[in-house]
Amino acid sequence: MADITAIVLTKNEEKNLPDCLKSLEGFAARVVVVDSGSTDATCDIARADGAEVLAHPFENYARQFNWALDHAGIATKWTMRLDADERLTPALCRELEALMSAHDADDVNGIVLEAWLYFMGRRLAHARNMKRKLMVFKTGVGRIEDRNMDEHTLLSRGRSVDAREKFLHYDYKDMSHYISKLNWYAGREVRDYFDYVEGRSREVALDSLNQSTRNKKFGFYYRMPMFFRCWLMFVYSYVFRGGFLDGKEGFLYHYMYHRFYRTLVDAKIYEHNKRGTPYEELGALKE
């Protein structure tokens, strides 16, 4: 059993949570589920599995997770962030235990993990978005930057290393839920977009890969013509990077994420610029 506390944020995750918690069995010494008003069996499932359950209203992911860091009374050497639709594998658990043991007393204070993305039951092996994030860190050294979208874990000191094994990300319940989630994401993305262009965002130091990705988003993507850029992203990812090799699931993922979602973000930006509509109150995703 590793000296680590896993924090899982939930809202109506009765479908995903059992497998998430099962993947932590025998690995995490403590599991804390922070719920934001579930109306299904999420909290009962968590308690039945031995997890502790805390409740807190949701503002955004970063503030919810940071609230957990401040109020969960974490006493373990390490802390982990894990979403309910994510799973560890036995091989990854073994690697993490080895890495935490090897870096127990040096300046390596974080571990970066990368995901295999599953969509509609199929693992997307081609042209997938690289879901890569710092998920494990020494307690008291890591916090998530206060953004509405594309938030990263920051270390106050030390450095991070990469794990070779990947975690599993099941980013799909059903199409209606997925569309609702993309609309919710779009509202968060628009908030961050205007914070950036209007000079309200506070720049922080990221690792080279995440900094490069963010620079491309705000320094290149958002400088291209509105509504054209989402078509370009779809063609680039689906055609030139080989997304078509993942069959119908690959087409649906790339169309929904790059074409539909990115068009929705542009539409919300356009609407706000044209009509001065107020920003959406984000809160938790409505199920």
Full-model pTM: 0.87
User: Which pLDDT score, from 0 to 100, does residue 129 have?
Assistant: 62
Q: Across the chain, which distance is largest between two alpha carbons, in Å?
A: 56
What does the pLDDT profile of the chain (287 residues) look like in tens digits?
899 999 999 999 999 999 999 999 999 999 999 999 999 999 999 999 999 999 999 988 899 999 999 999 999 999 999 999 999 999 999 999 999 999 999 999 999 999 999 999 999 998 766 678 999 999 999 999 888 777 789 999 999 999 999 999 998 889 998 999 999 999 989 988 888 777 665 555 555 556 676 777 888 899 999 999 999 999 999 999 999 999 999 999 999 999 999 999 999 999 999 887 766 666 666 66
In the prediction, which pLDDT does 214 show? 73
Closest CA to 33 of 63, 5, 60, 61: 5
